[in-house]
Amino acid sequence: MESVNGDADDIDHFYKRHRQRLFTYALSITCCPGAAEDAIQDAFCRIYRKQRIEGNMKAYIFRAVRNAAFNQVRRNVRSIQRCDTYIFANGDDPAANGEQRELSHRIADALHELSGDERETIVQHLFGDLVFREIAEVRRDPLGSVTSWYRRGLAKLKHLLGEEE
């Protein structure tokens, strides 16, 4: 658990260590790379202005990015387009083979079939590297709900992707 006073150096260090996770998380909410980037920028502008983070820094920053991402969606309902491989930032990686890209597309499509709560929880845990307790803190939801969304979402993904995946 990262708990600091939130000075600019601590915030910079956190951003450098977690920027891809924050982007993936914002992307899972907005489904649009540009809106995800805007959400992260908005969140960090607010964080830098505040300069004081109480408690768990990781949960606090993920919550700020979550709020900013939902604000982006509300503000830009018509202009945000779904990006087919939204969750995989390195979709143009020449080292990735065709099968890997196809699986990435299938996973992205399957994630869109989940409820928002299930998708967000899975992305927070698997891609954001948050433990369930931190997810509950970020979302301000009961721990039992978070674990239920995760289990239910994984079961749906397993069904959508086929058990052999």
From 4-13, 22-31, 39-48, the region with the lowest mean pLDDT: 4-13
Instruction: Domain ranges for the chain, please list them.
Output: 1-83, 96-165
pTM of the model: 0.74
**To the nearest whole number, what is the mean pLDDT of the chain?**
82
> What is the mean pLDDT of the segment spanning 81-87?
53
User: Given this model, what pLDDT does residue 87 score?
Assistant: 57
- Separation between Cα atoms, residue 34 and residue 99, nearest integer Å: 27
List C-alpha distances in Å: 72 to 13, 38, 77.
25, 8, 8
Q: Which residue has the higher pLDDT, 136 or 54?
A: 136
DSSP states along the chain = -------HHHHHHHHHHHHHHHHHHHHHHH--HHHHHHHHHHHHHHHHHH----S-HHHHHHHHHHHHHHHHHHHTTTT----TTTT-TTTT-TTS-HHHHHHHHHHHHHHHHS-HHHHHHHIIIIIS---HHHHHHHHT--HHHHHHHHHHHHHHHHHHH-TT-
User: Which of 76-85, 99-108, 137-146 is the least confident region?
Assistant: 76-85
**% the chain with pLDDT above 70:** 81
Return the pLDDT at 11: 86
Top-confidence residue, 34 or 104: 34
Q: pLDDT, tens digit, for every residue of 27-52?
A: 888 888 888 999 999 999 998 887 67
* CATH architecture observed for domain 1-83: Orthogonal Bundle (1.10)
**pLDDT band at 3, cuts 50/70/90?**
very low
pLDDT at 16: 92
pLDDT at 125 over 60: yes
Contact 27, 36 (CB under 8 A): yes
Classify 96-165 by CATH class: mainly alpha
**pLDDT at position 162:** 85
Per mean pLDDT, which range of 59-63, 79-83, 113-117 is the poorest? Answer: 79-83
Question: Per the structure block, which two tokens stand in for 1?
Answer: 């658990």
C-alpha 137: how far from chain center: 14
Query: By the 8 A CB rule, do 165 and 103 touch?
Result: yes
